[in-house]
């Protein structure tokens, strides 16, 4: 059974950094495109970043370009989201998602989802 688990969330001050991890079990991530999404309080879930199966392509939402970096380590079966210069508006539950042909920032492109990790940016 395909299973994704996010970790690395927490409380951070504005301007701080966090690195989120998305670990897979029950399958290897090598062939899967991975997306990171977030749902802020009172808002719809939105795409943040995505990375192609072997890391050759990445994409970012305009709101996080230049601050967030997505990467993957297929040997560790894990995808990361490095978040720098965090802002209060980055506060949200962050989810990772996987699909064999899901590269993109739209929810419907992904079949498998983790349970999410909370990120709170506040002083």
Show pLDDT as tens, one digit a residue, over the chain (123 residues). 789 999 999 999 999 999 999 999 888 888 999 999 999 999 999 999 999 997 789 999 999 999 999 999 989 999 999 999 999 999 999 999 999 987 899 999 999 999 999 999 999
Residue 20, token pair as written in the block? 């989120």
Query: Residue 71: which of 86, 85, 60 has the closest Cα?
Result: 60
Tell me the C-alpha distance between 13 and 47, whole Å: 23
Model pLDDT, residue 117: 98
Buried b (16+ CB within 10 A) or exposed e, 70-82: bebebeeebbbbe
Contact 22, 34 (CB under 8 A): yes
pLDDT at 48: 98
């Amino acid at each position: 059974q395909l299973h994704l688990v996010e970790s690395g969330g927490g409380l951070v001050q504005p301007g701080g950094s966090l690195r989120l991890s998305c670990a897979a079990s029950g399958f290897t991530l090598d062939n899967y495109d991975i997306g990171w999404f977030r749902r802020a309080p009172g808002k719809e879930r939105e795409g943040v970043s995505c990375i192609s199966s072997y890391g050759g392509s990445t994409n970012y939402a305009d709101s996080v370009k230049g601050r967030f970096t997505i990467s993957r380590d297929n040997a560790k079966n894990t995808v990361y989201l490095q978040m720098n210069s965090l802002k209060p508006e980055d506060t949200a539950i962050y989810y990772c998602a996987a699909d064999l042909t899901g590269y993109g920032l739209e929810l419907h492109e992904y079949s498998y989802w983790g349970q999410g990790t909370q990120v709170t940016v506040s002083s």
